[in-house]
Amino acid sequence: MSSDLSRFGVTMERMLLHQLDEVVRERGSTRSAVLSDLARAEVVRTLVQKPVQAVGTLTIVYDHHVRDVTERLTEMQHELGDKVHSTMHVHLDADRCLEVIVVRGRADALRAAADRLIATRGVLHGTLELFAEQRAENGRARGASSHTHAEPHSHPIPRKPRKKR
């Protein structure tokens, strides 16, 4: 067992344990891994309720026929400045568009901005998913995937071979 792991006992209702075991089987995982995932998700959910640095996505679906909705949404994103890192726009059908906005900043400010965007007339649905960027003692970002970096570095862009003349 790795020195950064701790063993502990858990007590739960039998039916809940059977349901957990079904989730474990469906994932092809272990109880420990599933419980760790659940605990990590709850820690992240709790952290982003505080004014911590966070990264996330705001997903909205809107009716682009509603007067000026596209312009208002674009203007609001411009007002957020460097908090907006990227957007993806998808035409769902003749009336509706989906937009995914990648955001980064203080969690409370991002929630407030998301609330304003979602409340815009013409927006039919919206949801914000945030992940705290705060570092745990072991150096892993809380809520981060297994792709972490101990040292800052760039990901080089592969170069195309030069054509021979």
Q: Give the whole-angstrom CA distance, residue 77 versus residue 104.
A: 12
As a whole-number percent, the residues of the chain with pLDDT over 70 amount to 79
| 8-41 pLDDT, tens digit each | 898 999 999 999 999 999 999 999 999 999 998 8
Distances (CA, A) of 141 to 40, 46, 138, 150: 11, 15, 9, 10
- 109, 111, 112, 113 alpha-carbon torsion, rounded to 10°: 90
Distances (CA, A) of 22 to 34, 46, 62: 11, 27, 37
Check pLDDT > 70 for residue 105. Answer: yes
8 A C-beta contact, residue 114 and residue 128: yes
What is the predicted pLDDT for the residue at 47? 86
What is the predicted pLDDT for the residue at 83? 95
Give 152's pLDDT tier (boundaries 50, 70, 90).
low
Full-model pTM: 0.68
| 120-151 pLDDT, tens digit each | 999 999 999 999 886 544 444 444 444 455 55
**DSSP labels, 111-129:** HHHHHHHHTSTTEEEEEEE
Q: Give the whole-angstrom CA distance, residue 105 versus residue 123.
A: 23
H or E segment to which residue 132 belongs: strand 123-132
